[in-house]
Chains A and B, each alone.
Chain A
């Protein structure tokens, strides 16, 4: 009797109350304290404790524990079956393996002459240690010596004619326009027009253009696990046994290779900028109302750009700003990079497209200026696949925090175009580097057996942008920013040495470590506009009345053009039946024209500087053949040290200047004669070949894990496997 429905099996409140009321009164505690004691002892609060608020936390928590428990049981019980299954399928993968782990650290563009110099000065102790205990030599690169080509050869163990990557850019012979050589990202083929929308009925086309098979895919087929991080030309990610995070050539949210935004209230700073866009802003008091330029809205029929409103409130005294964007507010001081900020674009129909970016205010007075990094695909919710398996990028982002996903991660164009300072560029670049180091060490911690490969483009980017400090005669030192010294490069090499040290600390005798670069570096003082040279020498014609052509051959008279240059090192014959408006017959006429061009260009002199500009022209008929040789430029130009194709020539501009000074911060390069820019090769073991090549690393990995090198690979194993096994046995016996 008298029991309320609150607790059917418990005593009414008053009964509980009676039990505790006495002692509390005796102690004369204030009611508030008494109340708290009551809360902790009374049955009602205990139920409140699992109530809505607490329920949020506890439900989630218990759900996770339950899920973990379930997965643990499942994993534990199913493991013997999976193990058995692998045995039945003959996948005792590591049975023949001579090693536990094969670890490859790619330091893109590390230059052998500098490594040797700094080693001799005692500045690279870890590189020296590797050299002493194993191998150091130069590494032959590819023709041409360009990262996408070199890394594609590295991963396939074959020459470019077998993997189809000959440059950053390939050309469409029907339009003479450039395409990205590594991947095609197209719109969905089937759409349903509905009002102002175009509803996609199929997936957008994402197609990798690199052919042949990577050595980690072959290893995977044999049951060897691999973790591949940021290796160029791995977008879109391919399926294999292991984890892969795509590297160079992964696009940003706009589908470009990286488009920064530059906000400025200074009208004089508004100009065309390579690799980025200007967004003029007006200060209304201390406020700026502007927008973030997003991707084209492919859901809409008119493909308009999706924009996100961006409000900036400036505090002049504190030299900081309050930034409001995409439902978040944060303060940002001048000359400080924000962390990764998540943005959500809304193209319509309830769809969300996510990106991440970082903000940097470079100036508040007298003009407001702000840099916004390219819109990276959010690794937690990527609009395009970034990794294999798909959840790998999600996993990395959850574990280590958001990270840069853009292929060309370090924003060299922003520095080149004077949008950010050298200091800011370095800060951003090393911040990216730190993210990749974390990924690498996470992979090393998790992989007890298998292949680990990680490529750092930090070395390439910093050398491109700061090489002029090593070259006192560089024209860019006289123009533009030059606040730093040669120490920037030295610091870079020392930082890489520290990285090598950390990697070595995490390895043992059963691991093989390779530290390598895909090519070296040289100064880029003079640019050669090859298209202008072709024009001046009668091989390329402009439309009547024109003395120069705008970008992408806009004013070229194709019907009277014999040859044209596109990309960083290629010359194409305007061939009949292949090019849309070809003029040169295939066969003997083409061969004759090539011979003529080779004769004229081989050893070409820059009269203004009295120096050889081109060392050698490589005829595609003389390079190793393969099924994709037809896609190779007809001629590949091997520039001399100090020279490279000019910025204008790459983009198809034609004028009457063949040679010009390179006055951009981008002052070092490697798109030259491959023979003068070999890479570096360090190995923790002795190798049997004196002059190794990039294409030898894949076959070496296969052989070390106990598998035969497939016949389609051009490379050879670098390690004498029999001696290696004997050496291993001896060491084990000693132990």
Chain B
């Protein structure tokens, strides 16, 4: 899985490379455009284009019927019933491309979360480093040490919380750069990357996880932890990234982060804009 993650991650690195120093909106527009193209491609080749066209025409016809027969209440209701019926059919026609799209889309979203989800730390900023152990493992029994780093000050001794099976440190960022935090666990050395004051568009991995298909799929930012160690995750808390539109910070919506809202809106708009050019019925 790590090989896949590494390769897939490199594609995104390549895509965003020229835009790293620019406002994140530039990268967001680009990736939304590429996503729109991908979605149009999937829709074109996996959906029943003729069926969608036919059903959409029927819906439009019945909408026009509402205008043409506005004096007849019974015809208006019939038209509404037909609109609803064809709408369901339309949704059923969209189901196949949705199923096809869902896998690439999740992979893309996971990658985008690394690029647009977090703000790097700034020198002087404090954060919490948290090591989560496997269930039932007491943090008091484990031999775990965090080595001092040039990039960070370790501000506290390890806090071992037995109920949560975790060990926490408070850190303060000292220097710009991507630093390695080094742990020694049962005599084995582990590293976790921490980003301080990066370019406006940077990849940030908040969590390193133990090797497993799903863990690695969802957290592709760093190589996995070995399975033979009692550590499940190593996590650094980063602030969430804002998407600022002409001075207005796009807010969270029902728990959905701003970048995801922007990404959805932009890719949908661009999809609709380019559907005519690529002759895709959606």
Contacts and interface: CB of A to CB of B under 8 A. Distances in A.
* Most chain B CB within a 10 A radius of its CB, from A52, A67, A225, A391: A52
A39 B102 contact: yes
Given A17-B218, A395-B65, A56 B118 contact: no
B106 A53 contact: no
25 contacts: A1-B130, A1-B168, A4-B206, A4-B207, A8-B240, A12-B207, A14-B232, A44-B106, A47-B260, A48-B105, A51-B264, A52-B36, A52-B263, A53-B102, A55-B267, A55-B268, A56-B43, A56-B94, A68-B87, A71-B63, A76-B76, A243-B68, A395-B65, A398-B64, A401-B57
A59 B265 CA distance: 11
Interface stretch (A30-38, A123-131, A657-665, A701-709): A30-38
Contacts of B30: none
A389 B67 CA distance: 10
Given A48-B106, A67-B63, A34 B214 contact: yes
Contacts of A13: 218-219
A588 B217 CA distance: 103
Contact of A398 (B57, B69, B84, B217): B57
A285 B65 CA distance: 51
Interface in A580-603: none
Q: Which of A59, A67, A71 has the most CB of B within 10 A?
A: A71
A453 B282 CA distance: 38
B76 A72 contact: yes
Interface residues on B, range: 35 or more
Contacts of A45: 102, 106
Given A48-B102, A65-B87, A446-B75, 15 more contacts: A4-B113, A7-B256, A13-B218, A14-B232, A35-B213, A48-B109, A52-B36, A53-B98, A53-B105, A64-B63, A64-B90, A67-B63, A75-B66, A76-B73, A389-B68
Given A17-B218, A398-B58, A57 B94 contact: yes
A396 B113 CA distance: 48
A39 B68 contact: no
Interface of A is mostly: helix
Interface in B200-257: 206-207, 209, 212-215, 217-219, 232-233, 235, 237, 240-241, 252, 254-257
Nearest to A241: B71
Contact of A51 (B58, B69, B109): B109
A6 B110 CA distance: 9
Contacts of B106: 39, 44-45, 48
Q: Among A6, A56, A61, which residue has the most Cβ atoms of chain B within 10 A?
A: A56
B174 to A, nearest CB: 21
A649 B72 CA distance: 53
Interface string A541-567: 000000000000000000000000000
Contacts of A49: 98, 102
B131 to A, nearest CB: 11
Most interface-central of B98, B213, B232, B271 (chain A CB within 10 A): B98
A395 to B, nearest CB: 4
B117 A21 contact: no
A4 B118 contact: yes
A5 B241 contact: yes
Most A C-beta atoms less than 10 A away, residue of B32, B67, B132: B67
B181 to A, nearest CB: 15
A486 to B, nearest CB: 40
B128 interface: yes
Contacts of B232: 14
Nearest to B119: A5
Contacts of A55: 264, 267-268, 271
